[in-house]
Amino acid sequence: MSEGPLTRAPQLSTQTWYNTNVPVDLLELRGKVVVIYAFQMLCPACVSHSLPQAKSLHQYFTADDVCVLGLHSVFEHHDVMTNEALAAFISEYRLGFPIAVDAPGENGPIPQTMQRYELQGTPSVLLIDRQGYLRVKALGHVADLPLGHWIGRLLSTTHEAPSEPPKGDALQACLVNGRCN
C-alpha cells in the first residue's frame, strides 16, 4: 500500500473484454467502489481462493455500489494463457463479472496495467474508492473479513480511511520473479 498522498488509480490498459459489451473505463465508475482482481488462469491461489471470492462479491453487492472486475495479467506461460484459453476458463468456471485481458508489455513479459500498478504477482487485489483513488493494493489472497470491512469503509467514506489496509496472503501467490508459492 502506497504511503503518502492518495493517488488516482491509473487507467487500465486492456486488450479484450469478456462478459461486457463495452470495455470498462474506470473514469465511468466514479461513484462506485471498484474491486479489481489481477489473476492468471494457471495461478493456483487465484483459482482456489480469489476468483471464488470475486464471484461472491459480484453476487453480494449491488452493481450500483460495487463493481467487480477481473484482469488477466499474464506474466509467464504467455503461449498457453491465450485469449482462447481464457474464454474457455471463464466459461468452465462460470465467471460472470467483466474480465479484461491486460495488454501485453512492450518491452518484456509484464503486461501494461500490471506495470502501471507495480503489481508483484497474482493474485493481487486492488480497491478503488468512489472518487477514483487507489486505496488498497494487496499481493496474495485477502480474507473475506478484512476485505468486507474495507469495502464497507470505502462505501461510506470520502477520503477518511482505516490506517491499515488489508493484507494479502502473499505466501500463496505467483510472483513476477519466481514460481508460484
By CB under 8 A, is residue 114 in contact with a second copy?
A: no
Three cell numbers at 128? 478503488
DSSP three-state, residue 88:
helix
Could you tell me the smallest distance in angstroms from the CB atom of residue 114 to a second copy?
A: 18
6 touches a second copy (CB under 8 A):
no
CB distance 156 to 33 below 8 Å: no
Q: Count of residues binding a second copy (CB under 8 A)?
A: 43
User: Is 104 an interacting residue with respect to a second copy (CB under 8 A)?
Assistant: no
Residue 104 or residue 148: which is nearer to a second copy going by CB?
148
Using an 8 Å Cβ cutoff, are 135 and 159 in contact? no
CB of 17 to a second copy, least distance (A): 18
CA atoms within 13 A on the CB side of 120: 13
Q: Please, which residue, 12 or 81, has the CB nearer to a second copy?
A: 81
CB 72 within 8 A of CB 99: yes
Strand boundaries in 82-139, DSSP class E: 99-102, 121-122, 124-128, 133-139
CB of 12 or CB of 89, closer to a second copy: 89
12 is a contact residue toward a second copy (CB under 8 A): no
Whether residue 117 contacts residue 10, with contact meaning beta carbons closer than 8 Å, is answered with: yes
Q: Between residue 24 and residue 43, which ones bind a second copy under the rule CB under 8 A?
A: 42-43
- Tell me which residues touch a second copy (CB under 8 A): 42-44, 47-48, 53, 56-57, 60-61, 77, 79-82, 84-85, 88-89, 91-94, 143-157, 160, 162, 174, 179-180
